[in-house]
Amino acid sequence: MVTPFALDPQQRAWCADLRTLTAERLRPLAAGGEPGRVNRPLVAALGEHGLLARLFPADEPVRAMDLCLLRESLARECTEAETALALQGLGAYPVVQSGSARQRARWMPEVVAGRAVAAFALSEPAAGSDAAALELCAEPDPSGAGDGWRLSGEKTWISNAPEADVYTVFARTGQAPGSRGVTAFLVPGDSAGLSGRSLDMLSPHPIGTLTFDGVPVGAGDVLGVPGGGFRVAMRTLDLFRPSVGAFAVGMARAALAAAVAHAGERRAFGGPLKDLQAVSHQLAEMATRTEAAALLVYAAAAAYDAGEPGIAARSAMAKLFATETAQYVVDAAVQLHGARALRRGHLLEHLYREVRAPRIYEGASEVQRTIIAKELYR
């Protein structure tokens, strides 16, 4: 039985196994990756070691709690492996949640095996936080059988672009304004008219742009129903937002462990750093906030799994609090280490770069506050 307040022995053992696997098998593969490129051997290893099978159980969607424990455990040991796993999930969960049997049969075995790389293409140059303002245009295709469209426009800040094998693409069909005019499509990466380029970002995982120049899509490529694409996106984000929090908790725990170890060993002013009250109180604050973030993440995941109401707000709270906390904890750990933490290649230098983006992606902290506030007045 999962409680939001403590992990059971089985869950703790699973997390320990995941951490060992990640440290021993995945970290070396991550180290061999090329900045800005999809690390295909790493994605394949996620498949070979059964991690993608845990992310995509055969007959049902993943439990949010399992998703969070996966992400937190991987993040403790190797953020690149964590992110590669998460991006398969974000890219392919619209197919799991809203796709047809044919779409699932076409793509899921490849995604689960780590042979096909998935991506979630929502953001545009003029539509980031205001996702319903997206402009990628799906125009009826006169050359098709009458049930097709051609996609034209731009996507940007798309993780795994432009190298992904399949994209979940959100485009505007028809005249309905805002979120009501959005349709989700499954678009293979090798589609005619689809191109893109990498962006050099503060992020160790690949991010890029996509240009759609009349990319043909048919009725069989629609995820869900025409006009229902915004809901497809929001359902996926409801599941993934607590797990971004779990990623952040994993990073915070890694930073805290490093800080505790360092303060126990490093001597200054006649004793170990931990004997300075300024240091021990800082560590206590970091530990307390990390624990609070973990509890909020587990509680949101457990509520999601129990089908409780108000999931959008609980997911938003978990993501908001955990990502902001992780930023604080990593920064404090850097401060406690001093200059050595800023040296390129140091764990904290890496985490300091990694921890920033989750406060922006999958809904910036300000978007999470908007979602939470809306729920207060519902």
Catalytic residues: 362
The nearer residue to ligand COS, 234 or 347, going by C-beta atoms, is 234
Chain positions 282 to 321 lying near ligand COS, rule: CB under 6 A, are 312
Q: In the range 189-248, which residues lie near ligand COS by CB under 6 A? A: 230-231, 234-235, 237-238
Cβ atoms within 10 Å of 315's Cβ, excluding its own: 30
Kindly tell me which of 287 and 360 has the beta carbon lying closer to ligand COS.
Answer: 360
Minimum CB separation from ligand COS for residue 9, in Å? 34
CB of 54 to ligand COS, least distance (A): 22
Looking at beta carbons only, is 198 or 370 nearer to ligand COS? 370
- Check residue 370 for interaction with ligand COS (CB under 6 A): yes
If binding is defined by CB under 6 A, does position 122 make contact with ligand COS?
A: yes
Site for ligand COS in 82-121 (CB under 6 A): 120
Count of residues of this chain found to bind ligand COS when the rule CB under 6 A is applied: 23
Q: Which of 361, 365, 369, 375 binds ligand COS (CB under 6 A)?
A: 361
Judged by beta carbon, residue 69 or residue 312, the one nearer ligand COS is: 312
Q: Which residue number, 212 or 341, has a Cβ lying nearer to ligand COS?
A: 212
Q: Is 328 in the site for ligand COS (CB under 6 A)?
A: no
Is residue 131 part of the contact set for ligand COS (CB under 6 A)? yes
Q: How far is the CB of 85 from ligand COS (least distance, A)?
A: 15
Q: Which of residues 172-191 bind ligand COS (CB under 6 A)?
A: 178-180
Asked if 156 and 196 touch (Cβ cutoff 8 Å), the reply is: no
Using CB under 6 A, pick the residue from 33, 89, 245, 363 that binds ligand COS: 363
Please state the closest distance from residue 238 (CB atom) to ligand COS, in A: 5
Three-class HEC string of the chain: CCCCCCCCHHHHHHHHHHHHHHHHHHHHHHHCCCCCCCCHHHHHHHHHCCHHHHHCCCCCCCCHHHHHHHHHHHHHHCHHHHHHHHHHHHHHHHHHHHCCHHHHHHHHHHHHHCCCCEEEECCECCECCCHHHCCCEEEECCCCCCCCEEEEEEEEEEECCCCCCEEEEEEEECCCCHHHHEEEEEEECCCCCEEEEECCCCCCCCEEEEEEEEEEECHHHEECCCCCHHHHHHHHHHHHHHHHHHHHHHHHHHHHHHHHHHHHHCEECCEEHHHCHHHHHHHHHHHHHHHHHHHHHHHHHHHHHCCCCCHHHHHHHHHHHHHHHHHHHHHHHHHHHHHHHHCCCCHHHHHHHHCCHHHCCCCCHHHHHHHHHHHHCC
Stretch that binds ligand COS, among 58-66, 77-85, 126-134, 163-171 (CB under 6 A): 126-134
Residues within the interface to ligand COS (CB under 6 A): 120, 122-123, 129-132, 178-180, 230-231, 234-235, 237-238, 312, 361-363, 367, 370-371
